[in-house]
Amino acid sequence: HRPCRHSSPLPRPVTAVYAAQSRVYDGTTQAAVNASSSDIVSGDSLTIAATGSFSGTGAKNVGANKTVDISAGTLTGADASNYSLLNATGTTTASITPRTLTATYVGVSRVYDGTTTAPVTRNLAGQVQGDDVTAAETAEFAGGSTAKSVGTGKAVLVTGITLSGADAANYSLLSNSASTTGTITPRALTVSGLSGITAVDRVYDGTLAVSLNV
């Protein structure tokens, strides 16, 4: 009798199904990937991991159903040695949605000029460092007929806030309006061409005050 030769069992082939997760714009092309397979024996400890990256023109930018390239697929887990991964690479799709920005404002004091225009200082929060995005707005003192008048802590309404810049399409505003307060100070007048005014002599008293006869 010839001795029997027992063959070693072969790893079970696994075909991974990859799915990328949609996410908010962050200025990178990274894409989180989930993977599953119907080839895994029930109860086995096996995980499929892979790296995902948005690709193509404008890969980092906002868009729907963007191509995601899958690479470096691997098997891990207590039963990983019993399997072999057939597709360590692949493609799928996912979306990048706009990143939300918040525009806040601080009112600035100005001299009375007969209008309701309000100067404000803007703070735009939430943009990715290095991105070209800025805002523009209209700011007006509120209060009806007294809106243009001198006063402190006057209500200022900011409306029509819009974004601009090369990366503006990757962002959206939490709100396109805001409010703050500001101050209008009195306008100085210079009076000239008066006649019949004389200064009154006085004894030195250490001040600059002068009495006038008009």
Beta bridge mates, 36: 17
User: Tokens standing for 111?
Assistant: 């001299």
Stretch 153-163: mean pLDDT = 98
Share the mean pLDDT of the chain: 95
Stretch 33-54: mean pLDDT = 98
Residue 212 banded pLDDT, cuts 50, 70, 90 = confident
pTM of the model: 0.81
User: Tokens standing for 62?
Assistant: 């906002």
Report pLDDT for 196. Answer: 80
Cα–Cα distance for residue pair 167/189, rounded to 1 Å = 47
